[in-house]
């Protein structure tokens, strides 16, 4: 088990439906990172922006973008995660993909489709939450709109790190910041939230405001409005465990089940 985990999130102005241009940008950023980074987090739909035309950019799991993630993870001996538009069995998914340094893959399909944009009409929702084990850390990955649903994020699996990646618009950016901190506080967990910046082809604006937050809701690292760059911090499992054991808040959580 590794007590310290060095995490970095890359905030970008995504090129609309242009996987190669976006991947070139992220590769350049990754190559500038310190060699001791353990985990890199990319935004939601990091190769395309939040498109409702998945047929324009969808790839299979053995496609260019996933292969690139595996190449980067192996080359730098780090874990990389982000969401992509994936096609599988004649369906489209907004899929979180976690790549281990040995190129092993773990995936999560976005549970809550953003109906305001019609995501539910073109993408198939996921029905399972996963916990990823990486260097002794238990990581729960969620995507954008999932942030608004605390029951789905509830720490019933004793996870250590909650990850959100998003295309969250500037019009509701206060909700993004507030809910990230709420998820950290109520689940006594580190939270990494990586959002995009810039403007997309639909003229929606995104300010980024990516954050890394500790288990008591304190900001450890943040990016300014519309800044293109990297949010990073070292997080400490032992420190989190000590506070959890001292306060015991998670021991008093409600028991429940989710019906689909």
What's the mean pLDDT in 137-166? 97
Contact 132, 106 (CB under 8 A): yes
Residue 215 clears pLDDT 90, i.e. is over it: yes
Q: Is 98 helix (H, G, I), strand (E, B) or coil?
A: strand
What's the mean pLDDT in 144-172? 97
Catalytic residue of the set 29, 81, 144, 181: 144
Segments making up each domain of the chain, as ranges = 4-252
Annotation marks residue 186 as catalytic: no
What's the mean pLDDT in 47-75? 98
**pLDDT value at position 35?**
85
**pLDDT one-digit tens code per residue, 1-47:** 789 999 999 999 999 999 999 999 999 999 999 889 999 999 999 99
Q: Which residue has the tokens 């689909």?
A: 260
**pLDDT value at position 227?**
93
| CATH number corresponding to 4-252 | 3.60.110.10
- CA 181 – CA 193 distance, rounded (Å): 10
Catalytic residue of the set 110, 119, 140, 181: 110
259 — pLDDT class (breaks 50, 70, 90): confident
SS3 content of the chain, % helix, strand, coil (to 5): 30, 30, 40
| Of residues 92, 69, 101, 67, the one with CA closest to residue 82 | 69
**pLDDT value at position 120?**
98
Counted residue by residue, the chain has a size of 260
Annotation marks residue 110 as catalytic: yes
258 — pLDDT class (breaks 50, 70, 90): confident
Indicate the pTM of the whole model: 0.97
Catalytic residue of the set 44, 59, 106, 119: 44
Annotation marks residue 103 as catalytic: no
What's the mean pLDDT in 137-165? 97
């Amino acid at each position: 088990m590794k007590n310290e985990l060095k995490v970095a999130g890359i905030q970008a102005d995504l090129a609309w439906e242009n996987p190669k241009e976006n991947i070139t940008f992220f590769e350049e950023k990754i190559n500038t990172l310190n060699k001791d980074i353990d985990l890199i987090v990319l935004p939601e739909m990091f190769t395309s922006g939040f498109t409702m035309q998945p047929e324009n950019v969808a790839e299979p799991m053995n496609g260019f973008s996933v292969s690139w993630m595996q190449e980067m993870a192996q080359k730098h001996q780090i874990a990389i995660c982000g969401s992509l538009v994936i096609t599988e069995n004649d369906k489209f998914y907004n899929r979180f993909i976690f790549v281990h340094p040995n190129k092993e893959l773990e995936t999560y399909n976005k549970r809550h489709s953003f109906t305001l944009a019609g995501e539910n009409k073109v993408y198939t929702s996921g029905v399972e939450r996963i916990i990823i084990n990486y260097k002794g850390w238990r990581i729960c990955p969620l995507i954008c709109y999932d942030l608004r649903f605390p029951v789905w994020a509830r720490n019933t699996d004793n996870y250590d790190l909650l990850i959100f990646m998003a295309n969250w618009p500037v019009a509701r950016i206060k909700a993004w910041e507030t809910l990230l901190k709420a998820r950290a506080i109520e689940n006594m967990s580190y939270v990494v939230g990586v959002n995009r910046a810039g403007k997309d082809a639909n003229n929606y604006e995104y300010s980024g405001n990516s954050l890394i937050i500790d288990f008591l809701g304190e900001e450890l690292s943040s990016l300014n409005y519309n800044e293109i760059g990297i949010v990073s911090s070292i997080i400490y499992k032992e420190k989190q465990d000590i506070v959890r054991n001292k306060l015991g808040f998670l021991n008093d959580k409600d028991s429940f089940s989710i019906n689909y």
